[in-house]
Amino acid sequence: MLEFVIRRKFWIKDFIPNAYHDDVVDDALGQQKKNEVEMKSGSSTSADNRLTWTQSLITKRPIRALAKEFAAHKKIKPIDFTTEAYEKNDAKNRYNDIVCIDATRVVLKDRSPENDYIHASWMTMPTDRSIFVTQGPLQEYVGDFWHMIVTEKSKVIVMLCNFNEGKHEKCCFYLPKEKSDIGSYGCYIVSVKSSKPDPFEGIKHTEFDVRWSDNKTFMVHHIAYFDWPDHTAPLDPKPTVGAFKLARTLAHGNPITVHCSAGIGRSATFIAIDYAAQKIRDNAEASMIDVIKDLRSQRYQAIQSAIQYVFLHVCLLEYFAEENAKIRDSKFNDYMESYASMIKRYNKKVEAKQREQSKAGD
């Protein structure tokens, strides 16, 4: 399996041209720029709320305070929920301790009640825009994954893990392993349409054609960020924010599918950028703890760690700064440097612990 991971990376690298020449992506980036201009020229209240929130964060809430804030609320969970479908479909769950809430689960369309389960949840944003988050597909049920993509008309898949990390599978290969391959998953045939140059550092963008009965076709954008480490966070928020903005633009209002391995840490943090940004535009005093409560009412255990919670704030800072350059002052830069120093120290500790565990397992 490790060999496949290496081959997958080489395939993507070798298949990338040198310039962003595809009309679809050009149009998408143009629309993205238009959206950003509209945001900048939007209501003064919206702009003021983003600026007010940013200034409050960087002057009153240091990085350490955010970590402590999460620690004080890390056990938040929905008050009342059931998980009957999850319990009845043990073989379809990647992890036995990551439950799927009945009220928000994605119900597979055109399936009998006995066969309509997938470990995926609808995440409704404040503006009613919908995203669904799911675990990394299991080999035996990749057909269900593609059935969900096609029947829900999800034009964008965001992948925030690698297929294997260390000695563990995080996600099966639900895509063709080589650019010339054709993947067969249940009744769905998946092939590479085109591969794009990296839109942002560490981000891979590939287009796939999906075919099924009567030669029906559906085109899907696959945006992959292989370098976001599990249980921690990237050093630089720019690729994550860039991937988020690109995914939203390419979706054209259709649901976006986001997954990592369990679908609660990296994925929920990514989705929280959209959710929290919308809350802040309406209210400069929007609580990030309330954001966690809202997300966990839809996806159990959403945002797993203090580091991911801190990274959410850093992504929001970067996102708002890209909308309004006036935010980037010396205090903003100092705050970002403080985050970078913290994450470097944390990741070194994580790497050291992983080396020790690896030696113990040999």
pLDDT greater than 70 at residue 45: no
What pairing do the DSSP bridges indicate for beta strands 188-196 and 120-124? unpaired
Q: Which of 277, 280, 281, 319 lies closest to 44 in space, CA to CA? A: 281
- pLDDT class for 178, splitting at 50, 70, 90? confident
- CATH node for 2-361: 3.90.190.10
State the Cα–Cα distance between residues 168 and 354, nearest whole angstrom: 12
pTM: 0.86
pLDDT digits (tens, 9 = 90+) for 288-316: 999 999 999 999 999 999 999 999 999 99
Assess contact for 186 and 201: CB atoms under 8 A.
no
SS (H, E, C) 32-83: HHHHHHHHHCCCHHHHHHHHHHHHHHHHHCCHHHHHHHHHHHCCCCCCCCCC
**What is the C-alpha to C-alpha distance for residues 302 and 269, in angstroms, rounded to an integer?**
8
Give residue 281's Cα distance to chain centre: 21
Q: Mean per-residue pLDDT for 32-61? A: 71
Give the DSSP H/E element, type plus range, for residue 158.
strand 156-159
Across 27-36, 103-112, 187-196, 278-287, least confident range? 27-36
The 10s digit of each residue's pLDDT in 149-168 is 999 999 999 999 999 998 89
- Closest to 311 (Cα-Cα) out of 280, 287, 282, 342: 342
What residues are labeled active site?
260
What are the sequence ranges of the domains in the chain?
2-361
The model's confidence at residue 270, banded by pLDDT at 50, 70 and 90, is very high
Query: Of the given ranges (17-21, 332-336, 352-356), which has the lowest mean pLDDT?
Result: 17-21
Q: Is 308 helix (H, G, I), strand (E, B) or coil?
A: helix
Structure confidence at residue 132 (pLDDT): 95
Instruction: Tell me: pLDDT of 223 over 70.
Output: yes
